Structure 1
């Protein structure tokens, strides 16, 4: 009773200070269990710091410039993959407008499917957030003029700006580009034309955001729930010493020690330098392709490759994704640098799945590059699925190289892929 009386007599600030002190003490005593790789390549595998520095040191500006040309229609993916019909691969299917004969009441509203293209360098992701320049914000603001009168009056009474409400196929992170992002909105107004919608959105952020197409669809259409697959493309710039030929023997490493000491010195910790650990400075694109190919046609939990909620909470279907297509190939992109007359050499990674978790593609790309450099076995990504600590995977690759190419609403056709 005496302790309770003394506690009640203390001022609130003392309670706050005591609690902060306890939290700091608990944090100091907390033990962080790091994932330990036990395979033969464990000493050749980059640490998180080394992987981060290797990935972010690349010339991403050339990739950003190429994506900007794609967004504004000044370039085409056909230049990247070498076949003219690559643009026809993009899925433009829209559900038929099967409305009932009696189009009154809730069926009287009109739903529009909008396909937009935007450059991630200029936006803080898709989802609208206070104080951030997101894609959703200018899109909803621009279609506010198409909101019906009743909805407009309701927002004005609440002191809110007259804006539309759009739903999207998938939210992209800050810095991620999209060529065919799908969103939709509905209105009860009958005087809205497709050209008016295009014009309004195109004026919102010129050279950064562009409307690819607008179509009227069924009220039952939902950009996210109606989608059957998503296609992502990751363009990874390759330097002169980044790429090496695939060895015929699995796990055999071809490392130039002189180049290693010069180019990778900053990535080694003092302990590693003392121990004389020689880590690779290059990887094989062919090996990356082999590692990714093991994921095709499998329904797996990608919780170790996700960066949203705690891994212990990601159990079961919420983290399961079916990978339709996962391949990698070498190509070249146009580059203004005089040193790259024939274009900059890049690695293209194409991933198609029914869904993707937050930052899953970026973590997967970084991890597969790390494993290819270390000379890991072909099933290493499948083994990492069973890990219990996210430190088993690499930190996310830069968002500059990631692009949402398109969203499919028809069954996936394996023949319609960029990389075969």
Structure 2
């Protein structure tokens, strides 16, 4: 039987998603919990690997097992063995043809940024920070120039293992919550796929434009240069959340993971 799980986690305490010898990754914790519940080793594949400090509102994984349990039992039983900052949100049996990564039609992220003269305290590690006021209109004008299929080499980390830097960036939505010098900004991104550090590098450029250090048209120059040296420094991982992949409705997954349903809207950090 092949099973798909929706996972939510706070990434502050972990060295990213992918298993490492340290054992301090989300994948290591999840597979240990699944293996305890199933009383046999279980290995998982994920829809999108997240870096150290990055959070997930809906990571999707799949695995194969001969153990027969109800989906509800997989959710509750696995959560019993997980640390408090990782939790299975749902479990669904899927056909053998389903692959959490290859079957995804789109992927979504949100970056939560605190604009304040004082650094975050209670939200430390869960939001990015700008001490300077940001111009939303300028950032939206720049974001519009990024929409479409482009070579995003200028926003690609040197360690990126993607076969091609060409991605279809379908949506960037920038909204402000609150007014005055203290507020929050939400940057939502949707694409067919993303390069390593792509969103954090885009954020570095958008924030630079929002501060008034560059004009919106500068983002086109960065894009066309296809050189990481031209772009702004990589922005902090703290405020980055993987909102999850989106799939065809034929797989029977929850609406929040279904493209036709539009996916679950972002409603703030967990």
Task: Flag whether TM exceeds 0.5 (same fold).
Answer: yes
1:136 maps to 2:27: yes
1:301 maps to 2:179: no
Q: Quick check: 1:289–1:329 contact (8 Å CA) kept in 2?
A: no
Q: Structure 1: how far apart are the matches of 2:261 and 2:135?
A: 25
Deviation at 1:131, TM superposition (A): 1.1
Question: Aligned residue for 2:15?
Answer: 124
Deviation at 1:205, TM superposition (A): 3.0
1:168 maps to 2:46: yes
Q: Structure 2: how far apart are the matches of 1:412 and 1:325?
A: 14
Question: Aligned residue for 1:284?
Answer: 135
Q: Structure 2: how far apart are the matches of 1:288 and 1:412?
A: 27
Match of residue 183, structure 2, among 342, 345, 352? 345
Deviation at 1:391, TM superposition (A): 1.9
RMSD, aligned α-carbons? 3.0
Deviation at 1:378, TM superposition (A): 3.4
Work out the number of aligned pairs and report it: 245
Other structure's SS at 2:224 match:
coil
Question: Aligned residue for 1:252?
Answer: none
Q: Quick check: 2:6–2:59 contact (8 Å CA) kept in 1?
A: yes
Whichever structure has more strand as a proportion of its residues is 2
Q: Quick check: 1:142–1:163 contact (8 Å CA) kept in 2?
A: no
Q: Quick check: 1:362–1:397 contact (8 Å CA) kept in 2?
A: yes
1:322 maps to 2:168: yes
1:374 maps to 2:212: yes
Question: Aligned residue for 2:80?
Answer: 203
Other structure's SS at 2:211 match:
helix
Cα distance, 1:196–1:176 mapped onto 2, change above 3 Å: same
Q: Structure 1: how far apart are the matches of 2:261 and 2:183?
A: 26
Deviation at 1:305, TM superposition (A): 0.5
Q: Quick check: 1:286–1:329 contact (8 Å CA) kept in 2?
A: no
Q: Quick check: 2:14–2:25 contact (8 Å CA) kept in 1?
A: yes
Other structure's SS at 1:231 match:
strand
Q: Structure 2: how far apart are the matches of 1:371 and 1:176?
A: 23
1:408 maps to 2:254: no
Q: Quick check: 2:116–2:132 contact (8 Å CA) kept in 1?
A: no
Question: Aligned residue for 1:237?
Answer: 114
Deviation at 1:418, TM superposition (A): 5.8
Gaps of 5+ in 1: 1-109, 153-161, 242-279, 333-339
Question: Aligned residue for 1:212?
Answer: 89
Cα distance, 1:211–1:281 mapped onto 2, change above 3 Å: closer
Deviation at 1:383, TM superposition (A): 2.0
Q: Structure 2: how far apart are the matches of 1:201 and 1:395?
A: 39
Deviation at 1:373, TM superposition (A): 2.3
Q: 1:84-132 CA distances to partner (integer Å, 9 max, x unpaired)?
A: xxxxxxxxxxxxxxxxxxxxxxxxxx11010010001122110000114
Q: Structure 2: how far apart are the matches of 1:375 and 1:122?
A: 34
Q: Structure 1: how far apart are the matches of 2:158 and 2:105?
A: 22
Match of residue 193, structure 1, among 70, 73, 92? 70
Gaps of 5+ in 2: 119-130, 249-257
Other structure's SS at 2:229 match:
helix
Q: Quick check: 1:184–1:222 contact (8 Å CA) kept in 2?
A: yes
Deviation at 1:388, TM superposition (A): 4.8
Q: Structure 2: how far apart are the matches of 1:237 and 1:353?
A: 24
Deviation at 1:374, TM superposition (A): 3.3
Structure ID, larger Rg: 1
Q: Structure 2: how far apart are the matches of 1:116 and 1:418?
A: 16
Question: Aligned residue for 2:61?
Answer: 183
Deviation at 1:306, TM superposition (A): 1.1
Deviation at 1:226, TM superposition (A): 0.2
Deviation at 1:281, TM superposition (A): 4.9
